Amino acid sequence: MLDERIRALCKGENYGVLTTLFPDGRPQSQVMWIDCDDDHVIINTEVHRAKYKNLTADPRVAITIWKTGDPTSYFEVRGTVAGVVIGEEAKAHLDSLAQRYFKVDEYPYPIESQRAIVRIAPDRIVAFPP
């Protein structure tokens, strides 16, 4: 189960930086909206994006999540992709994130491919402050 402090960060209007690995081992990082359930950090992306292709080819990822307004309060989650959900459930999840981050009912930008919910199971969590 995720620590209550990390769940609070993931359920707030905070951001994370997701790092995936290209097939040649080079890292790629992007700022992401984040979410969680009891056991996983969750991101939402599109299946045509490099990050999705990377994490389906190599499920090892890292995500650093920080408190908005206080980047010195953060968690680093190193883990593996535990599951992916594609389709309408992922689009509904994206709309819920848009409500949280943008205060709008529906994600306002064009969607180029299918949306995907990605659940990340932590192998190691580093907190600061500890």
How much of the chain is in helix, strand and coil states, percent to nearest 5? Answer: 25, 45, 30
Domain count, the chain: 1
For β-strands 41-46 and 15-21, DSSP reports them as: unpaired
Cα(72)–Cα(49) distance, integer angstroms? 30
Residue type, 39: D
Which CATH number do you get for residue 118?
A: 2.30.110.10
130 falls in which pLDDT band (50, 70, 90)?
Answer: confident
Give the predicted TM-score (pTM) of the model: 0.96
Q: Mean pLDDT over residues 1-18, rounded?
A: 96
Segment 65-122, tens digit of pLDDT? 999 999 899 999 999 999 999 999 999 999 999 999 999 999 999 999 999 999 999 9
Residue 16 domain boundaries: 4-128
Q: Mean pLDDT over residues 51-77, rounded?
A: 96
